[in-house]
Amino acid sequence: MLSCCSLSQLLLCEGVVQAVVCVSRSRVVTSSHSASGSSLQVFTLSDSGSTPGPQPLVSPGVCVGALAAVAGLPDALIGSDESGRLFIWNLKTGQLLQRIILGEDLSHMACLRGYSYCGVLFVLLQHQLLSSLEEEVKEKDEESKKMALFSLVAINPMSGKSTLATRLYPPNAWSGRLCEADVSGSSVVGLSQSGCVCVWQLWPRGPSWMVPAPESEGWQLARWGGEGTLLTGHHNGDVTLHCYSQTSLCHQEDFLKI
């Protein structure tokens, strides 16, 4: 990884890394392949860029392909596998607190972010669409266009019971498969393979916003740059900043050209 303080590179772990996430208090959590499923480790970075020995997390015995922080609970971590199972850890103790089976209709998903509210754990899941590119070209009917891209699930972390809270659907102008997503607070941005960028608001719910591209080729990158700032990258090297609020999305400036 690259340390922002010293701009120096630091090797945290080797092997096949399946997932990595940065959490509060300068900690980085990795999930790497092992004979028992996944090996999960927590690295705490110092201001000098060094790190002591990693703290292990209890492995659930399966391959954990996605990790996410939980807003409101700095020492909680969630992870998911492709079979529709969700896991909750205590980062301080390394203990695996809960295994939750979300069900077949929520399989092939990746957790993006957790939210703790009044004792309820809300988890934002990204759908991993498995259709081929040829199938996508053939699917022109209205039903395929309205396939949900994200699901928000409400979970009782004590009992493990869960229920679907809401889904996020693409707007009519959206085309192509969702290839990546980013979350900032309750705002979600998604990028399709065809270059479409859209912003959704989890709460309060409002309209989705498409980000118009300067050319027909579309965008190749979409990331949150901080609260209220969306960064998009174009294939020609342009990087653009956009101001975002719950009621508007407007172009701010061309930031730089690589």
| Residue 256 to residue 258: CA distance in whole angstroms | 7
Q: What is the pTM of this model?
A: 0.88
pLDDT, position 140: 46
Contact indicator for 59, 40 with CB cutoff of 8 Å: yes
Name the phi and psi angles at 136, rounded to 5.
-65, -40
Question: Where exactly does CATH 2.130.10.10 map onto the chain?
Answer: 15-169
Burial of 239 (0-12, 13-18, 19+ CB in 10 A): middle
In CATH terms, 173-258 corresponds, of 1.20.1260, 2.40.10, 3.90.1200, 1.25.10, to 2.40.10
Encode pLDDT of 64-103 as tens digits. 999 999 999 999 999 999 899 999 999 999 999 999 999 8
Dihedral angle over CA of 137, 149, 226, 230, nearest 10: 30
**Confidence band for 246, pLDDT divided at 50, 70 and 90:** confident
More confident residue, 212 or 76: 76
**Confidence band for 6, pLDDT divided at 50, 70 and 90:** low
How distant, in Å, are the alpha carbons of 23, 29, 77, 183, 186 from that of 71?
10, 16, 10, 11, 10
Strands 109-117 and 66-71, sheet pairing: parallel
How distant, in Å, are the alpha carbons of 18, 58, 123 from that of 79?
11, 12, 10
pLDDT > 90? residue 124? yes
Contact indicator for 104, 121 with CB cutoff of 8 Å: no
Contact indicator for 50, 34 with CB cutoff of 8 Å: no
Residue 191: both structure tokens together: 């990028």
Burial of 97 (0-12, 13-18, 19+ CB in 10 A): middle
Encode pLDDT of 126-173 as tens digits. 998 654 444 444 444 444 446 899 999 999 999 999 999 999 999 998
How distant, in Å, are the alpha carbons of 27, 28, 52, 229, 254 from that of 88?
17, 16, 24, 30, 41
Average pLDDT, the chain: 86
Neighbours of 150 (CB within 10 A): 22
| Residue 220 to residue 118: CA distance in whole angstroms | 38
In CATH terms, 15-169 corresponds, of 2.130.10.10, 3.30.1360.30, 2.60.120.40, 3.40.50.720, to 2.130.10.10
Question: Where exactly does CATH 2.40.10 map onto the chain?
Answer: 173-258
